[in-house]
Amino acid sequence: MEFICSKEDLARGVQMVERIVSTRSTLPIIGNILFEAKKSGLKLSANNLEIGIELMLSARVNSEGSILVPAKTLGGIVSKLPSGDVTFTVKERGLINIKYKKSNFNIHGLPSDEFPQLSKIKESYSFSIGAGLFSSMLSQTLFAASGSEEKYVLNGALLEVGSSAGEGSNVKLVATDGYRLAKRGAVVNGVDQEFSVIIPSKALQELSRVIASEGGEAVMILASKDQVAFRYKDYYLVSRLIQGQFPDYKRVIPKNLGNKLVMDRKSLLEAAERCSVIASQSANIVRLELKVDGLHIMAQAPDVGSVDEVIEVEVKGKSKAQIAFNVRLLIDSLKAINNEKVSFDVGGPLDPGLIMPVGEDDYVYIVMPIRTQEVATA
């Protein structure tokens, strides 16, 4: 087996698949990257038994073959190679020679026979969505998914497809950790099936990185009863689905909270970030109080100090409210929105807050309140 590939292409490919490689598994073989040299080019694959990825690279293949290469060692080598062509040759007993300019590395590989192959799903459901649109949906929802193993069903995002999703969208992505919920909808042409699956956030994060680094074109999504796959350019990513009942998010979305506050998103974000300096010393709690001169965002911490930020707002409603939130959860949502203006619906001290970009109804962010003594007695 021998091929010649540019250092830039090889480094990009190794970096993409190396993130999938498991470093904690009791099965050593999945700590490797599978190299397959074919007439059509070079294929790299990684599989941690939960998520698998493969991609094609442009290479001049002098002789075909396959070999397993230790991911950690290879990643360290390739990232430090100088620019130019790299010649990759497999010699006797799995010895791999990596030659660049006048220098070379020799590392030991393994036979590819026992490497777990990536599943090719039998299409039960499939549709295509623009890469830019799906990337936006991912960035506005994934951060709200849970990272706790105790909430396994919340370790992913719910993908709902079809007209039954309602609310004017035929594709929706929803994520929640129990303290906040992010929902993004979109209208996608050519969707003629109805299904819903829970996709692990780790798989979606890898897909998001691939899309962000490549840009353009469309993503083909294929789903079966227990797996989902994504085809994008020369990439193929496959993952197990999360089995279980996702919370009924429609019941969580409040209908009328009494106060709609419309304000500049950037001003609110910057004020929240300044307040977080103090709030971080006191469980990240900030109090929001609507007064005559605007919306006050306040935080205090014993032995540290206090802060009182005032934001100009347009008020539609009762013109009175006092409620507390985790400031980090507010900041996350404001960073995910691109619009200049946002609406922030608030009600009583125990009601959730609802944040939406003004002029768009396809994105909703809900954050649960924090009960504090000051708010409870207000």
Task: List the CATH code of the domain at 125-251.
Answer: 3.10.150.10
Q: Is the pLDDT of residue 375 over 70?
A: no
Do 217 and 131 meet the contact criterion of CB atoms below 8 Å apart?
Answer: yes
Q: Is the pLDDT of residue 376 over 50?
A: no
- Averaged pLDDT, 321-328: 94
HEC-encoded secondary structure of 78-91: HCCCCCCEEEEEEC
| 185-194, 213-222, 367-376: least confidently modelled range | 367-376
pLDDT of residue 166: 56
DSSP 259-327: EEEEEEHHHHHHHHHHHHHHHTTTTTEEEEEEETTEEEEEEEETTTEEEEEEE--EEEE-S-EEEEEEH
| 103-107, 222-226, 251-255: least confidently modelled range | 251-255
pLDDT digits (tens, 9 = 90+) for 116-139: 988 888 768 999 999 999 999 999
Burial class (CB within 10 angstroms; exposed 0-12, middle 13-18, buried 19+) of 180: buried
CA distance 222 to 247: 23
Q: Which of 26 and 39 is assigned the larger pLDDT?
A: 39
Where are the chain's structural domains? 2-108, 125-251, 256-376
Question: Looking at the domain covering 2-108, what would its CATH class be?
Answer: alpha beta
Q: Is the pLDDT of residue 374 over 60?
A: no
Domain 256-376 has CATH 3.10.150.10: yes
Q: What percent of the chain has pLDDT over 70?
A: 96
Q: Is the pLDDT of residue 341 over 60?
A: yes
pLDDT of residue 72: 93
Sheet holding 321-326, edge to edge: 305-311, 294-301, 285-291, 321-326
Q: What percent of the chain has pLDDT over 90?
A: 79
| 82-91, 128-137, 158-167: least confidently modelled range | 158-167
- Averaged pLDDT, 107-115: 94
Q: For the chain, how far is it from start to end, CA to CA, in angstroms?
A: 75
Do 158 and 198 meet the contact criterion of CB atoms below 8 Å apart?
Answer: yes
Note whether 125-251 and 256-376 share their fold: yes
pLDDT of residue 26: 76
Q: Is the pLDDT of residue 188 over 90?
A: yes
- Return contacts of 203-206, CB within 8 angstroms, 24+ apart: 203/50, 203/51, 203/156, 203/228, 203/237, 203/239, 204/138, 204/142, 204/156, 204/157, 205/138, 205/142, 206/19, 206/20, 206/51, 206/53, 206/237
pLDDT of residue 41: 94
- Averaged pLDDT, 310-333: 91
pLDDT of residue 299: 96
- Averaged pLDDT, 332-355: 94
